[in-house]
Amino acid sequence: MTENDHSENGGASNLIERLANRGVTRRDFLKFAGLMTATLALPATYTRRVAKALLAAVRPPVVWMEFQDCTADSESFLRANSPGVDDLLLEILSLNYHETLMAPAGAMAEKSLMDTVANYPGQYIAIVEGSIPTANNGIHCTIGGKSALSRAQTVCSNALATIAVGTCAWDGGLASALPNPTGAKGVKDAVPGLATLINLPGCPCNVVNLLAVVTYYLTFKQWPPTDAQGRPTSIYEETVHDQCPREDHYEEGRFVLAWGDAGHRQGWCLCKMGCKGPETQTNCPSVKWNDGTCWPVQAGHGCIGCAHPKFWDQMSPFYNSLSCQDD
């Protein structure tokens, strides 16, 4: 990981050459641009505009802070493909700080963070993973002798934008489930008043959605439209149920009644098995997981509502049935 040099890196043709040296073809790159276009709900005709913008963009400095978390959002980020995460880091983003991924440790790691904050005020992107404890002056999570709360206040308040990745960074997630002894909160409540805060709930956040948000900014020089909860509307407008390939079974009253029964083997609706898809807004059915190959409902398990507000409290028990059509 190196400091962002804020240069054009030789232009679009050189970027294509460098990607090719890593085994990323022009076709692969256009495929990635197409994925970003679709995720942002833009017309397919925008694919070349997105590709052109990515090729011409100056790499934005990025600092990634982890607080009360399980590192799942970082793991999701590492699963980026087409191009791979190494290409994204070196050619599209400049990841100046990430505790888990960077080589420096201790004072040198702290220097990478503070140098970015000092040298690029209002120009870097702050990504927050995990909830922020606020009880007892934030003592429940400290890094380098500083509380997560104070670090978030310093870093996020000076950023071009803050992106809260994952449910914990959005509204506190698991750590904020009652009785919430650490006073865990999401960024929007722990550091109120930020000029630009993009929330990407999900446990974890899908890396495709994160890259799409950054791509939108690099293409249009503004952040994507968001709803009242700060979530990009192109990603969180529709419910999982409305996009689900099993919706026809729901409409026809065909429900799985027990794991492994005939309906389960035939891909019927999982509503009676606790699927929270009808109440959860996110795009899992379209972007999927594991390099776009599968997602929980496709694998035979219902949605647990991890992108729903306070899902640990409001969506559990996870196998309790929602109100289904013929109840």
Alpha-helix runs per DSSP H in 43-147:
47-56, 72-78, 85-87, 106-119
| Arithmetic mean of pLDDT, 12-36 | 81
Can you give the pLDDT at residue 90?
67
pLDDT given for residue 167 in this prediction: 97
Residue 308, token pair as written in the block: 């729903």
Mean pLDDT over residues 18-46, rounded?
88
Rounded to the nearest angstrom, the gap between the alpha carbon of residue 259 and the centroid of all alpha carbons in its chain is 31
What was the pLDDT predicted at 21? 81
| Cα–Cα distance, 311 to 277 (Å, whole number) | 12
Per-residue model confidence (pLDDT) at position 325: 55
Q: Which residues of 216-237 are buried (b: 16+ CB within 10 A; e: fewer)?
A: bbbbeeebbebeeebbbebbbe
What b/e sequence results for 45-83 when a residue is b if at least 16 CB atoms lie within 10 Å of its CB, and e otherwise? ebbeebbebbbebebbbbbbbbbbbbebbbebbebbbbb
Cβ atoms of residues 93 and 226 within 8 Å: no
For the domain 12-235, what is the CATH superfamily, name and number?
Answer: NADH:ubiquinone oxidoreductase-like, 20kDa subunit (3.40.50.700)
**14 vs 32: CA distance, rounded Å:** 18
Residue 322, pLDDT score: 73
* Nearest to 152, CA basis, from 111, 193, 123: 193
Sorting pLDDT into bands at 50, 70 and 90, what band is 12? low
**pLDDT tens-digit profile of 25-35?**
888 888 889 99
DSSP code at position 35: H
For residue 186, the Cα-to-chain-centroid distance in whole angstroms is: 14
Is the predicted pLDDT of residue 8 greater than 50, yes or no?
no
Res. 1 pLDDT band, cuts 50 70 90: very low
Give residue 172's pLDDT.
97
Give the pair of three-digit tokens for residue 129.
């993973």
Q: What local confidence, expressed as pLDDT, does residue 324 receive?
A: 66
Average pLDDT, stretch 131-138?
96
Coil, helix or strand at residue 280? coil
At 26 the pLDDT is: 84
- What is the average per-residue pLDDT within 150-159? 97
Q: What is the pTM of this model?
A: 0.91
Q: Where in the chain is the domain with CATH 4.10.480.10?
A: 238-314
**3 state DSSP class of 288:** coil
Q: Give the chain's mean pLDDT.
A: 90
Name beta bridge partners: 198: 163
Kindly report, residue by residue over 61-104, the tens digit of the pLDDT.
999 999 999 999 999 988 876 666 667 666 778 899 999 999 99
Least confident of 9-23, 190-204, 301-315: 9-23
Q: How far apart are CA 257 and CA 198, in angstroms?
A: 39
Residues of the chain with CATH 3.40.50.700: 12-235
Burial of 21 (0-12, 13-18, 19+ CB in 10 A): exposed
**pLDDT beyond 70 at 266:** yes
CA–CA gap between residue 326 and residue 130 (Å, rounded): 39
Give the pLDDT score at 89. 64
Has residue 254 got a pLDDT over 50?
yes
Residue 6: the pLDDT is 41
Alpha helix locations (H) across 127-186? Answer: 148-157, 167-171
Q: What is the CATH number of domain 238-314?
A: 4.10.480.10
pLDDT of residue 162: 98
Adjacent-strand bridge partners of 98:
64
